[in-house]
């Protein structure tokens, strides 16, 4: 991880926490063909997280299929409630920085 200007001289753990707190994560549903639903997570910094490892972890925790496409995570099914708990309690993101976009 490269030191950002606001992280110069700070311990790596503190710098990582600052990055987590500054990210705005968007979670929404997409409807696909044949009535399939996909939960999409956008806004996680690819420099701070290895998205492939993160999607692998989420797939295990949610017992669902998933992938990384164009810097966003796609998980099969509607997992918005479980994702909120995982993102906040296990991964350390702030609840205020997670935006759940409702269906239109």
Is the pLDDT higher at 73 or at 48? 73
- Token pair recorded at residue 65: 């299929």
Task: Taking residues 42-55, report their average pLDDT.
Answer: 88
Identify the three-state secondary structure at position 71. coil
pTM across the whole model: 0.78
Q: Hey, what domains does the chain have and what are their CATH numbers?
A: 25-101 (3.30.780.10)
Is the pLDDT higher at 2 or at 32? 32
Q: What is the pLDDT of residue 61?
A: 95
- Token pair recorded at residue 22: 């500054």
Q: Is the pLDDT of residue 31 over 80?
A: yes
Q: Is the pLDDT of residue 95 over 80?
A: yes
Buried b (16+ CB within 10 A) or exposed e, 36-71: eebbebbebeeeebebeebbeebbeebebebebeee
Nearest in space to 102 (alpha carbons), one of 1, 29, 25, 3: 29
């Amino acid at each position: 991880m490269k030191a950002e200007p606001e992280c110069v001289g700070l311990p790596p753990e503190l710098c990582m926490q600052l990055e987590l707190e500054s990210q705005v994560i968007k979670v929404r549903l997409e409807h696909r063909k044949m009535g399939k639903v996909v939960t999409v997570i956008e806004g996680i910094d690819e420099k701070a997280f290895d998205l492939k490892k993160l999607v692998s972890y989420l797939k295990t925790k949610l017992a669902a299929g998933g992938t990384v496409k164009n810097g966003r995570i796609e998980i099969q099914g509607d997992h918005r409630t479980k994702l909120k708990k995982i993102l906040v309690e296990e991964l350390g993101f702030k609840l205020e920085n997670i935006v759940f976009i409702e269906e239109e």
